[in-house]
Chain A
């Protein structure tokens, strides 16, 4: 059975020493988040994740959710676990205090999310989607809607869902058919079928608040005519009590590769009563508001899987005795050396770890950007952070989930045949990780978003936020005695490749738009590797300082290990930027040459 220990020291290192979030006391919510408070929250979170959520992970996978005549039963223990989660106040950790939340920084929420995803991804999606619904209503709901739904979503009494997908439309929401007909009382009657709705039906909470995209007849065609509606499973009376069952029902559950503990529902809307959220036909705008935070959340899922898979693979590698080290026996008293001595095992373990630690820093930094983009008192700073977040989100979502999955299979590989056997839990990580690459915008579409939308925006304004930062950092630290040669110079090389790739795409796509699409995934990876290298440089610098000054969140050993892992990233992962650049510069030609009929 796999185990999980939350990487609290590493989280504290990033939060307190690299990002130094104590310096943001001027931002609402941060003043309360003293280092001690944060540590206490992280420890409390670690406890419930390790003790309550993680033990349910395999059970949830084995049992799955059960559909019976429209009712759905979650796996054994989920209900109790959800109750404990709500009683601990976890659903409202970062939510608005006006609606009962604790108003803590989003960046802290990211750390908690990571733990949840490591411990039990399928379970985590129930509160995860509630948070999505909370965000949409918080940003665009009327005061009445907010008063009616937000407190219960924040407390966890009710859960939420996001309904976008339909049988014939996933990426291309302009093809949507679900319709919303206006009623005399200002409500709408929603009719249509939504599929793949996570947490769409379950027994964890007495009411489910569905946020549904649908088209008002007579509106503009395509994506410009999509509106957002709130549709509760049970209508809510004026006093907040539950009223009649609404016309939405769960037609079935999907049988699927992973996240069995989460109900993936087909929802049939049959004249269900809904209310408009935001302006008519502006549903996508409301979606975009929460999209950045949601994509970050899915990126963190990839990270969480990588971390837990790493932990179990590393433990196994230290125990499992097979073969001798090729450089000479290391444990003569044992019948064979533990496989951790073999370079290729180390390659896999270090790849996962270097990604997980670098990704954690990047993910938390992005979490901080969410806070700054929303709450910074200076509008200019708000905009800068919003730009940067918009730029980084496709990168984080796609790279973290691609590499999260890659990490899971590498960890599985470390276990050899046992990795393929259910009991060890590794194959579940592989299966669970796979969905993260698909939902919340398939990764190919993220790459397209990066080159097609984010890159040209404002003639490269979003790029500026990141590029100027990195360029300035390189300039300032190129000669740094601790990190200059080992970290900053390689970062500079990767960054130059990123610039070259950017220029190439900007120019090539003017002549042939397919060039941008063809380059997109390689570009995204160069971007991600550069961003992670940027985080590693900062982490290495901090670690070097702590080694010299003493003190810090952990002992010298931690900081030395940190630098060592960082070296692996720089030496063995960052050079991928060169091959991605070469592929990208080869252009779209060979990719587009084949006629569709020849496939």
Chain B
């Protein structure tokens, strides 16, 4: 299998450019070509413009601005030669088979023998694309279908043609998975592949049924949101996000390709209220968030009335069925109000449809669930949802309503579609037998390791698991994985696992966020009732526990993904190594709630920056950097940025695929076992009072310009005092324990102020920082 070391993307539209950006995010050089604009002065304007625009786009397609430098831009007339050494050419041009085929003909002359070509088409069948092309091309050709935005959406649909080389597909699968970090789902060459086939139908039905059941936009989105495991934008909100004008196009192409007997053309009403409303909206420029508004406008304060087509103030949806859904999906669809009826109408159609497409679009249910979860961000795939309803109950109700029961549900005959037995998990196949869900050695989730096992230790907030080969894993499971006393107790226990014969420890879990920080609710209450010794004891306890972790006699590796903030970031700073998912958002954000990092965050960051060999000389530059980072609560927007900020060291590593983070962390931990030495304590000479004075002056400047609030000045002052070593001057040595003591002192001075307590309360009650 040839490794893909260089990539080209043809077509610098939204999708193509963002794919190129993501290839660059993976550290792979990428050529980006587009046509020459008519009468252009700059013949590369399209590709160059796209890269420039992406540097300003939010959410950012690039994980780091410098990644843009990995993209070589050009045009299809002057720069085809750039393709000569490319291993994979990904075509993402206009959805027109003739134009695509033309391009492929051109490529045939220039591309390197054995290189792979794929199309990012969402709807054109592979066979159509290959018409008139030589077998040599067909053997190197497949479809790779990304989801927008490619950096963030994890699904990567991969379609093999009848002639496609197996090793080409294997190379793409490996590249998509390991290098790009995507969830690779093999699809058949059917219209819309898996995700869009179901998703486009779902989206149309979810919207049009709202009219039938007399639901408002708000009510619909309240149902097609959390209750159904859909992101909280709901269905109309999602439409606004992706663009209303997209709907007619995707609907039309699906309708063109699908047989008339398919459920989508059956359900589609070309003259229906929905289609007419959308037509009217597009005409008026109401194309969603990018236009004058969509189903919502004025930042969500106004909503389109589905009956009148006029905007009106948003009303909070008050449906009993939404409350009932907390008891589960079945409680939702069994509820008697209009929300319950709508939900059954929608879910019964969508789940039946998905089930009826086995084996047409996929032989196994697993791929379908994975595709919907990673391509449409559904919390549960359609087959998981059927299991939630119960296959028996679902089948019975369909039968009672005189509707067909899909084969896979019939085959289940009351058995669940998924089951777990011992340490293994299984899914049901059309044959009626269960097949094992394979777990690769180098890509697994903690759930795979926990299955059928008892934890080594644990409490309400955290658990410790044996993940094999003498390695233990400390899992957090508080709300948002906020650090509380329970977690601290388990960290303490985990740091001693070497006594039980464990060789190494991984700290990580399957959650979206590693940890959002310390749970400040309890601290706030304690501070409010002036329990100062208890509070200070809590800080000291956290410091001691993190310190013990750092100096424990075996390697500790943090497996970070998502947010690692505040106290959650501080724990990673005390680990021997961090294996970070590329989407890691790390930062010491304590000042947002008016305190400073008190569990060694100030200490670790000033130490790292002072000892950083690449930094400029003198005591001030590292001090200024760390001070700015902490006093403005800077958070990295990716692991790449975290590395630049030194939240990650050079020795720390980044994993692109979320499902590989734990496995990589474990491997890293094992690699450190041999000859492991705990770190040596360091001593620093910090800038002292004069350094603090310089920082104070800077902060006062910000205050005068209105960039820092009154309390920002106080909090920054406390941070500055810690980072400069307190009362010591530059000739005196500051130890790790000195810094811990300074952190405690600074924390306590702040937590006693009203302004800090107001900040914490505000954060806890509104989720937003208070600028006081």
Contact = CB atoms under 8 A, between A and B. Distances in A.
A458 interface: yes
A55 to B, nearest CB: 48
B405 to A, nearest CB: 43
Contact of B530 (A459, A461, A499, A506): A499
B529 A460 contact: yes
A459 B525 contact: yes
B521 interface: yes
A503 B761 contact: no
B757 to A, nearest CB: 6
A458 B529 contact: no
B529 A503 contact: yes
Nearest to B526: A503
A231 B71 CA distance: 78
Nearest to B520: A459
Interface string A446-478: 000000000000111101100110110000000
A502 interface: yes
B531 interface: yes
B461 to A, nearest CB: 14
Given A464-B757, A506-B525, A458 B530 contact: no
B311 to A, nearest CB: 26
Contacts of B524: 459-460
B528 A463 contact: yes
B765 interface: yes
A467 B761 contact: no
Nearest to A474: B530
A458 B531 contact: no
A475 to B, nearest CB: 9
B764 interface: yes
Interface in B733-772: 752, 754, 757, 760-761, 764-765
- Residues of A in contact with B, size category: 10 to 19
A463 B528 CA distance: 6
Nearest to A462: B528
Nearest to A384: B754
Nearest to A458: B761
Contacts of A464: 527-530, 754, 757
A533 to B, nearest CB: 16
Q: Chain A interface mostly helix, strand, loop or mixed?
A: helix
Contacts of A502: 529
Contact of A463 (B521, B529, B764): B529
A375 B292 CA distance: 46
Given A459-B521, A460-B524, A464-B757, A499 B529 contact: yes
Interface string A320-352: 000000000000000000000000000000000
Contacts of B529: 460, 463-464, 467, 499, 502-503
Contacts of A470: 530
Interface string B173-210: 00000000000000000000000000000000000000
A459 B528 contact: yes
A459 B531 contact: no
Contacts of B764: 459
Nearest to A502: B529
Contacts of B528: 459-461, 463-464, 467-468
A468 B761 contact: no
Contacts of A468: 528, 530, 752, 754
Interface in A479-503: 499, 502-503
Contacts of B527: 464
Contacts of A384: 754
A299 B760 CA distance: 34
Nearest to B762: A458
A380 B521 CA distance: 22
A380 B772 CA distance: 11
Interface in B477-494: none
Nearest to B524: A459
Identify which of A384, A470, A503 gathers the most chain B CB atoms within 10 Å of its CB.
A503
A380 B531 CA distance: 23
A541 to B, nearest CB: 20
B530 A467 contact: yes
B383 to A, nearest CB: 38
Interface in A377-394: 380, 384
B521 A499 contact: no
B760 to A, nearest CB: 8
A75 B70 CA distance: 97
Nearest to B521: A459
A158 B475 CA distance: 70
Contacts of B760: 459
B530 A471 contact: yes
Interface in B703-747: none
Interface string B525-549: 1111111100000000000000000
A464 B525 CA distance: 9
A461 B757 contact: yes
A467 B526 CA distance: 11
Contacts of A506: 525
A506 B760 CA distance: 18
A470 B531 CA distance: 12
Contacts of B532: 471
Nearest to A472: B530
Contacts of A463: 528-529
A467 B760 CA distance: 17
Contacts of B752: 468
A460 B531 contact: no
Contacts of B526: 503
A492 to B, nearest CB: 11
A460 B524 CA distance: 8
Interface string B438-455: 000000000000000000
Interface in B383-435: none
Nearest to B534: A503
Nearest to B532: A471
Interface in B483-533: 521, 524-532
A81 B514 CA distance: 74
B761 A499 contact: no
Contacts of B761: 458-459, 461
Contacts of B531: 499, 503
Interface in B205-243: none
Interface in A100-153: none
Interface in A502-532: 502-503, 506
A461 B529 CA distance: 9
A458 B521 CA distance: 10
B265 to A, nearest CB: 46
Contacts of A461: 528, 757, 761
A262 B762 CA distance: 47
A514 to B, nearest CB: 20
A467 B765 CA distance: 21
Identify which of B529, B531, B754, B765 gathers the most chain A CB atoms within 10 Å of its CB.
B529
B489 to A, nearest CB: 16
B73 to A, nearest CB: 53
A37 B318 CA distance: 58
A503 B523 CA distance: 12
A514 B699 CA distance: 50
A45 B220 CA distance: 66
A471 B532 CA distance: 10
A447 B525 CA distance: 20
Given A459-B761, A467-B529, A468-B530, 17 more contacts: A384-B754, A458-B765, A459-B524, A459-B525, A459-B764, A460-B525, A460-B528, A461-B528, A463-B529, A464-B757, A468-B528, A468-B752, A468-B754, A470-B530, A499-B529, A502-B529, A506-B525
Shortest 10 CB-CB contacts between residues of A and residues of B: A460-B528, A471-B530, A464-B528, A459-B524, A460-B525, A467-B530, A467-B529, A458-B761, A502-B529, A463-B528
28 contacts: A380-B754, A458-B761, A458-B765, A459-B525, A459-B764, A460-B524, A460-B525, A460-B528, A460-B529, A461-B528, A463-B528, A463-B529, A464-B527, A464-B757, A467-B528, A467-B529, A467-B530, A468-B530, A468-B752, A468-B754, A470-B530, A471-B530, A471-B532, A499-B530, A499-B531, A503-B526, A503-B529, A506-B525
